[in-house]
Structure 1
């Protein structure tokens, strides 16, 4: 795993200062502490920081093709590189190294842009073609590996694995994009469609950018998308056997490494399934680790211990308490952009724990999105059935009126918290799901905004992006569209960003076997009854794993990596909650109504409402703006 950075002059091939690229790479040293390199030519500069995982000594970057006509910097792993290498050698290619980087170069020279479809892996790379005087930037199907872009005042395009790489460039302007701010407060992260600083962006998952000297910079183009519009046929037994075969292949392909390897183990279905299949494929005990909490109701370490004992893993567990909140500044520094998924804190801790023993760790990320494992997806399917029975002209006034009248009872048992469900039923399926996916509603955000921010937003509403995404999805049903939104929007913006930054902060490579594209494409074709049955998701996955895992692991209620932020902000961290409204950074930004923020904090501390997610968002925003050097 690595960090990459570079500069490209499109219209005029100006010289690139190697020292400038080197400084950008130095900001990414945590991603690659084992080596560094910079290459420049008229109008282009490529830089690299290396974390050695495969071919430890033989694949330095930037790497030239054997004929010297192409140069690449690459972040990621290509899991099928050995198969591709054999195919390319049969066609006459010659290799000097034993790693996957040189295979990408040879694949590009053999197949051009079509090489992307042949790559099985996680990647972001920059490849410069000297003959065509063109730069190819590409990102993997799901966005496991990041790539930030910025158009600078001198006309150049700068790119880097993290925003901090761009921040090292003196021409990058540090002004908050109002739309990115609204999106952050809507979702708790800045999605791939935005970047927190105006003038910066992210190369979207499954996209590439082809830029040529002497031509204006084009827009990124999609090279892959997930398709939910087809349905697989076959018995449950046949589909289960195919699923198990795909999972075994995915896990085994990600166990290839020339360094110590292990796994994250939460005790849930997904990580337990990965560990089970790793143990099946490994002659030695698998190294596993887990993180728990000082709030017993949220601590899953006992379930992880059950799985560890079942498979005889070399297991280590630790707990996180409210005292670990002191590390929140370090957490903000990892992400650069504000990031408010509170599970980033324990994820970072489990990455640190893993790095004490291994350099590569497999995770269970991706299964919930692919196999309908989230409660919100199951609820959405049920809501869609209600929508199909009642016309919109009847639903909107009936459920809308009930929803507006129903109290927002955060303190009540779940069955009595019907306000969100009623309001969702009043809207279209796309509107309802976007509302359920969001951390805050548009109305809640508007109540906090200053008149100046409201003016700058000019009617922009973050939810519209998810609504449009669902309406244009290649899908048959509401469940399809919800899963498509989770895979295309939530997964790269939240889940994969979280694991990439927290793992790379400690120079650990995380791999996600359940995001193998063949496995996800199979899951997208499953009939709905194989995804959701009797009100729970991941039906076929759980049935498939019954031969490996006990029922209390497979069928206990889903908990997730939940952090007890609500309890902490009412107790030991209540002072932090109150301090948000008075924060000089928040006040001087001019984005918010300070009195509204103060009321938000007091209502949470008093137990009248659960505002913990929003308070955590504001706290992480403050830390991010401070780090970025922005006060307004």
Structure 2
């Protein structure tokens, strides 16, 4: 696990001091070493967090004749098998590092190497003979990679956007159009970013640059193919997860785990049996999962460390969280992850975490929707639209969200689990609303790709392509690497997905339960209460803390800032906050979303930002 950065200069040879400055920005991703390589216009840099082959894996790494150079962020879990196969084909390995597989694999197979890789990765490979750069990102988007084409022809790439800030060809400009999407998604969705010209290399995609022409394309297509078969799904799930956990434990350093009260992390802990695990807790009992986690850890014989977060710590950490995220993120769980990773990093370098189980196995509570109150969907569509339009203007009370949500067919309304502000609400709040790109525009390809499948699988497709890489995995990467910790996600494995994509709808969700087959599989290793515990997400008491004058004052100050006045109708912002404080409406998510954007903006575009 590391950080990479580099560029192909558009005019003249690359300069190593520029690369050094880029790497300094992301030093937190790899405190164990730094490597640079400059070859004419090309500059490749690497910050290392040593996990495998502690002494023999420095990067950039080269093939036997020095023609190929690679910098790599991630882990290849089947590197031993690939090493044996490539050795049999005549390749000579100089290290025990998984990085070297990329070099010899590229020599042997070229781009066909990518579907052979089992792991998480973002890498950049420079061919000194053809003068071409090739980059690739793993299938599910576990590891991030950004790129930017400057006006002078220079191409920049890095694990984090902030690495671009020190390159003289980079022009830092706000992409204000992304704000409208963010206010609906709570994260920055799709290929675009909040920085003009900076793009994400999408999950399962490659990039090729020859100094003139920039090309990108997909090497992987994520698709569910539910089937009707006599397969005993829980048994099959348990077998493939045991194999994945074993692969994800390969390391030359201790592998610990994260543990909440939910089934996902509990199941992984039961399979992996790490020596210790880490849990977040709060003083507020309605949000605290530490007691449940400690009880399970005792049952499994695992040492449990609990980090309880105070509200003051939470609010104080938000600027650092937004800085490390690179783009604004209004997922309060990111702050909890920030502290969880900080605590773990004091003792270990690697932790297992449960991201991906909900998207693969049907875990979100909203997946119950197609099975509930079905009579309402049989009402005339026009009537439901009228009721929904009226409900949209009402305070957020139980039942109102249901009426708004069910006013339109699923494929016209669903773009993720956390739909925040509607277009009508954004039009009222924003000073410069354009509505050129709307959430459903980003979701449309997902719905087209899943045409003919059941509603749960179609929602999974949407979440797998938007929510998972845009929020879940991005905060997992950025919050772990902020503290130089490697986070491994055994659910997000190619072999696990090969099974999960085949699951029929009836073993995923119904009106009462989610992750039905996964829970049955987990019950083979867990107490029944742990296997069947309802989905809670990663609860954080922001709703309550926002009603405390000490923390409401921070938000109120942000809402009075010049940045707030630039982007928003500040009178409406204060109305949102006032109604929440007086308990007339539950507006915490909208308030927190706007507040996080304003904090992020000050980090990167404020008066003293650099």
Q: TM-score, normalised by structure 1?
A: 0.92
1:629: Cα distance to partner?
A: 2.2
Distance 1:544 1:173, change over 3 A: same
Aligned to 1:216: 213
Residue aligned with 1:197, SS: coil
Q: Distance in 1 between matches of 2:320 and 2:418?
A: 27
Q: Which runs of 5+ in 2 are unaligned?
A: none
Q: Distance in 2 between matches of 1:221 and 1:435?
A: 25
1:593: Cα distance to partner?
A: 1.3
- Following superposition of structure 1 onto structure 2, how do residues 325-336 of structure 1 map, counting pairs within 5 Å? 325-336=315-326
Q: Distance in 2 between matches of 1:313 and 1:366?
A: 23
User: CA deviation digits over 1:387-407, x for unaligned, max 9?
Assistant: 5x56xxx31x11122223347
Contact 1:192 1:492 in 2 (8 A): no
1:347: Cα distance to partner?
A: 0.8
> Is residue 294 from structure 1 mapped to residue 311 from structure 2 by the alignment?
no
- Following superposition of structure 1 onto structure 2, how do residues 308-387 of structure 1 map, counting pairs within 5 Å? 308-324=297-313, 325-380=315-370, 382=372, 387=377
Aligned to 1:259: 253
Aligned to 2:455: 478
User: CA deviation digits over 1:98-120, x for unaligned, max 9?
Assistant: 01001111101100001000000
Q: Distance in 2 between matches of 1:128 and 1:487?
A: 31
- Following superposition of structure 1 onto structure 2, how do residues 401-480 of structure 1 map, counting pairs within 5 Å? 401-406=386-391, 412=397, 417-434=398-415, 437-450=418-431, 453-454=432-433, 457=434, 459-473=436-450, 476-480=453-457
> Is residue 31 from structure 1 mapped to residue 9 from structure 2 by the alignment?
no
User: CA deviation digits over 1:33-60, x for unaligned, max 9?
Assistant: 1111111112211111001000011011
User: Aligned residue pairs: how many?
Assistant: 606
Q: Distance in 2 between matches of 1:173 and 1:475?
A: 45
Contact 2:417 2:463 in 1 (8 A): no
Contact 1:174 1:628 in 2 (8 A): no
Contact 1:148 1:202 in 2 (8 A): yes
Contact 2:391 2:404 in 1 (8 A): no
Aligned to 1:612: 588
> Is residue 594 from structure 1 mapped to residue 592 from structure 2 by the alignment?
no
Contact 1:228 1:474 in 2 (8 A): no
Residue aligned with 1:525, SS: coil
Aligned to 2:92: 94
Q: Distance in 2 between matches of 1:504 and 1:289?
A: 16
Contact 2:372 2:511 in 1 (8 A): no
1:591: Cα distance to partner?
A: 1.8
Aligned to 2:13: 15
> Is residue 580 from structure 1 mapped to residue 558 from structure 2 by the alignment?
yes
Contact 2:186 2:418 in 1 (8 A): no
2:242 to 219, 242, 248: 248
Note the aligned Cα RMSD (angstroms). Answer: 1.9
1:385: Cα distance to partner?
A: 8.8
Aligned to 1:84: 82
1:410: Cα distance to partner?
A: 5.9
Contact 2:456 2:509 in 1 (8 A): no
> Is residue 508 from structure 1 mapped to residue 485 from structure 2 by the alignment?
yes
Q: Distance in 2 between matches of 1:80 and 1:476?
A: 33
Q: Distance in 1 between matches of 2:494 and 2:371?
A: 24
Contact 1:360 1:510 in 2 (8 A): yes
Q: Distance in 2 between matches of 1:137 and 1:435?
A: 29
Q: Distance in 2 between matches of 1:216 and 1:129?
A: 15
Q: Which runs of 5+ in 1 are unaligned?
A: 280-284
Distance 1:420 1:294, change over 3 A: same
Q: Judge which range, 314-323 or 164-173, deviates more.
A: 164-173
- Following superposition of structure 1 onto structure 2, how do residues 533-548 of structure 1 map, counting pairs within 5 Å? 533-548=510-525
1:459: Cα distance to partner?
A: 2.6
User: CA deviation digits over 1:59-98, x for unaligned, max 9?
Assistant: 1111111121110000000000000000000111100000
2:509 to 521, 532, 543: 532
1:557: Cα distance to partner?
A: 2.3
1:420: Cα distance to partner?
A: 2.5
Q: Distance in 1 between matches of 2:56 and 2:252?
A: 12
User: CA deviation digits over 1:412-445, x for unaligned, max 9?
Assistant: 4xxxx22332233231212222276412212211
Contact 1:63 1:73 in 2 (8 A): yes
Q: Distance in 2 between matches of 1:200 and 1:384?
A: 44
Q: Judge which range, 549-558 or 23-32, deviates more.
A: 549-558
Q: Judge which range, 426-435 or 266-275, deviates more.
A: 426-435
Contact 1:363 1:512 in 2 (8 A): yes
Aligned to 1:233: 229
Contact 2:190 2:442 in 1 (8 A): no
Distance 1:104 1:384, change over 3 A: farther
Distance 1:424 1:57, change over 3 A: same
Residue aligned with 1:262, SS: strand
Q: Distance in 1 between matches of 2:375 and 2:109?
A: 46
Contact 1:209 1:221 in 2 (8 A): yes
Contact 2:323 2:600 in 1 (8 A): yes
Q: Distance in 2 between matches of 1:543 and 1:271?
A: 15
Q: Judge which range, 156-165 or 544-553, deviates more.
A: 544-553
Contact 1:182 1:462 in 2 (8 A): no
Q: Distance in 1 between matches of 2:172 and 2:138?
A: 28
Contact 1:266 1:301 in 2 (8 A): yes
Residue aligned with 2:22, SS: helix
Q: Distance in 1 between matches of 2:605 and 2:47?
A: 25
- Following superposition of structure 1 onto structure 2, how do residues 384-395 of structure 1 map, counting pairs within 5 Å? 387=377, 389=378, 394-395=380-381
Distance 1:411 1:469, change over 3 A: closer
1:152 to 150, 153, 165: 150
Q: Distance in 2 between matches of 1:133 and 1:384?
A: 60
1:380: Cα distance to partner?
A: 4.2
1:568: Cα distance to partner?
A: 0.7
Q: Judge which range, 165-174 or 431-440, deviates more.
A: 431-440
Aligned to 1:282: none
